[in-house]
Structure 1
């Protein structure tokens, strides 16, 4: 786990397509009430809340109460772990693509 003392692994949290879509929606807005998030899915409020809880446990989502309403926002900093992991492997792919291009050029000659 990272320095945020998260209850859930970030990779586990983003493994589900619904949660990735929630992250996308939250990234596009500063803050979204639960009822607006729920309207974007063909599932009930309880199911959306469970997905948000998983994201919250991973440190990806923040919530705050405004009266009787709960509003959610994205905390993208835990995604840095994923970005760093992908960046490491992008070097691998870049090298392999360069090799592939060289092989293809040699075949054309």
Structure 2
């Protein structure tokens, strides 16, 4: 099974709607700066930086400093714990629904 601390970090990080929106913008960009993320977002540059820090700590983004700018890009492998968790429980629920279907057929032929 997936390490609980890792899946908790990813879920906790993506639970915040502002952070999730920032992550989505990073995902659709090849690379993006804090300044570009701040434009039109209605969020301060400091808040964007804090959200990016959380995303980085969760392994969801990587940064590349270049001069005075820092470029952020998505790390798709950071979502692997979430995908693994969903796959695990997907199998669990498919089996339960199959059992329920069987039971319902037995009850109401």
TM-score range, shorter chain: 0.7 to 0.9
Q: Deviation digits for residues 88-107 of structure 1, max 9, x if unmatched?
A: 11112223344555538x75
Unaligned runs of 5+ in 2: none
TM-score by length of 2: 0.76
TM-score by length of 1: 0.76
Aligned length: 103
Name 2:15's counterpart in structure 1. 15
Name 1:27's counterpart in structure 2. 27
CA-atom RMSD in angstroms: 2.6
The whole-number CA distance in structure 2 between the counterparts of 1:44 and 1:71 is: 17
Q: Deviation digits for residues 65-94 of structure 1, max 9, x if unmatched?
A: 222222111112121011101111111222
The whole-number CA distance in structure 1 between the counterparts of 2:63 and 2:40 is: 18
